[in-house]
Structure 1
Amino acid sequence: MMLFLSMYPAWHLNTQWHVQGRLDYLKAYFAGYIQREKKMGGKNVSKWSEIGQYVTKKIQCIQETEDYAALAKLRRGMGHQPGEVPELYGILLENMPEVFWNNQGEVTEEEWSCYVALTLFAWHQQGNDLIKECVHTEQKYESIGKTMKKLSYALNREDKDPDAEKRMQRKLQMLMTSKDMPELFYHLKSMVTLIRKEKIAINYSELAQDIYLFQFQDTRPQVSLKWAQDFYRINKEEEDNEDK
């Protein structure tokens, strides 16, 4: 699998991707993750799942209580790293699994994933009603790749912006080649700023899980490939619908 990925760089979106079956796709996506966890003694096998559950529950809590104050606080975390804004400690750390923490006070991959996803959700939700217009969707396979393709369609309504798809490709490429978490955060914020203007929802639990795996060298290619496949998969889905 890794040899295949090295031959076909995940960021090269100008190449026509071969869309795998969903089962093969999931196997490829998790293969590197499982291998890495085995090397670590299996201590963190459940973290990927726990990250998704934590983000889902946190968003549900904010939505059910219509806690716009929490959203305002989370937005203050934009552009900062975890730990730099003390007023967010309560919102983020409450009910967060302690296995996500580092006893030395260093930011962990798990904390980065949750922090970025939740602050982006708050940024995305701004100006929208939490009940009627929640920007988080629990629909599966709504990755940032698929969302960016939807955005290109929205921008090109009635052929008003024929270059939209190419621009979204470039943004996705820049995201995939991020060298560190602050850079990844920066590109994601840029994307979400465009997405929120078009009222497009994102599965923020899935995004948090993707961000988690993106932070490891051996699983980053799978995440990039997933985003690329999802960007192009929507073409095939539309063609199939037209044939029916």
Structure 2
Amino acid sequence: MTTEHTTTAKQRRYWDEHTAPDHTWRLDPRTKQPRRPPGEDLAAMRSGLGRPVMDSPKMWPLYSCEVNDVLALRDEVSDEQKAEHAALALYGLHQQSQSRPMHRRGVKLGEALRALRRSGKFSEEALDTRVAQLAGATSVSALLVHLRGLVTQLRTVGQPLDYDHLMADIQAWHHTDRRPQVRLKWAVGYQAWKDKAPAD
């Protein structure tokens, strides 16, 4: 029987199924054409925005987390499953109408938001306020509301981020004792005013 499941590097999420290590689209082995996410998949993901995990049946085939049998017997899901649902919904929003992958390994949320700040597309003061509101979220639901707005802005400028890291951050936010470390990670990335912006 499965116990509390911990994600391993071997477990490939939806965004990794389509994004190659060189940040381009993976190629279909049969047609050799780029494996861009189908529009219906992205629409299914967006249907999960603002909804709890498992509440959008169209998303069910897109989940990759193993089911925690102990929790399932109680009609409950793991924090990992909740985090994957939220990350998929945000990815569907982010990837919409984008020709290149919006998942990029190594570009953590703080760094992506720093690039957004440097883009000049939005008021730096307003963005600082939104990032502060994100970091100060007192619940997972509030966190996801703020993330939705910021991901929409990232999509506007075509700035990718690492969805594996984002999913881990969301999962950690379910535990109040882990939030300070997540905030620290975001702060270091966002406030590291380097000469070179993160790769886009």
Scaled by the length of structure 2, the TM-score of the pair is 0.79
Within the candidate set 226, 238, 241, 2:195 is matched to 238
Give the conservation status (yes or no) of the 8 Å contact 2:140–2:173.
Answer: no
Structure 2 distance, partners of 1:188, 1:216, is 18
What is the Cα deviation at residue 113 of structure 1?
1.1
**Which residue does the alignment assign to 1:120?**
90
SS of structure 1 residue aligned to 2:176: coil
Higher relative contact order (CA 8 A, sep 6+): 1
Give the conservation status (yes or no) of the 8 Å contact 1:81–1:182.
Answer: no
**Pair 1:226-2:185 in alignment:** yes
Letter in 2 for 1:115: H
What is the Cα deviation at residue 229 of structure 1?
1.0
- Bigger helix share: 1
SS of structure 1 residue aligned to 2:104: coil
Within the candidate set 67, 73, 76, 1:98 is matched to 67
What is the Cα deviation at residue 98 of structure 1?
2.6
Structure 2 distance, partners of 1:70, 1:207, is 20
Structure 2 distance, partners of 1:128, 1:115, is 21
Change (3 A) 1:206 1:212: same
Give the conservation status (yes or no) of the 8 Å contact 2:65–2:84.
Answer: no
Q: Please give the per-residue CA displacement for 1:89-121, whole angstroms capped at 9, x wherever unaligned.
A: 2222xx422348721222321112111111111
Q: What is the RMSD of the two structures over their aligned residues, measured on CA atoms?
A: 2.3
Give the conservation status (yes or no) of the 8 Å contact 1:75–1:119.
Answer: yes
**Which residue does the alignment assign to 1:22?**
none
Give the conservation status (yes or no) of the 8 Å contact 1:100–1:111.
Answer: no
Give the conservation status (yes or no) of the 8 Å contact 1:101–1:107.
Answer: no
Structure 2 distance, partners of 1:229, 1:178, is 18
Structure 2 distance, partners of 1:136, 1:100, is 30
SS of structure 2 residue aligned to 1:183: helix
Give the conservation status (yes or no) of the 8 Å contact 1:147–1:200.
Answer: yes
Letter in 2 for 1:117: A
- Runs (5+) with no aligned partner, structure 1: 1-42, 240-244
Structure 2 distance, partners of 1:206, 1:72, is 22
Structure 2 distance, partners of 1:204, 1:59, is 8
**Which residue does the alignment assign to 2:110?**
145
Structure 1 distance, partners of 2:93, 2:70, is 25
What is the Cα deviation at residue 57 of structure 1?
3.2
**Pair 1:205-2:164 in alignment:** yes
Structure 1 distance, partners of 2:141, 2:173, is 13
Give the conservation status (yes or no) of the 8 Å contact 1:149–1:168.
Answer: no
Matched residue pairs, number?
178
Letter in 1 for 2:65: M
Structure 2 distance, partners of 1:188, 1:100, is 30
SS of structure 1 residue aligned to 2:114: helix
Structure 1 distance, partners of 2:16, 2:80, is 19
Scaled by the length of structure 1, the TM-score of the pair is 0.66
Structure 2 distance, partners of 1:89, 1:197, is 28
Letter in 1 for 2:89: T
Structure 2 distance, partners of 1:212, 1:150, is 24
- Runs (5+) with no aligned partner, structure 2: 20-25, 27-34
Change (3 A) 1:196 1:99: same
**Pair 1:181-2:140 in alignment:** yes
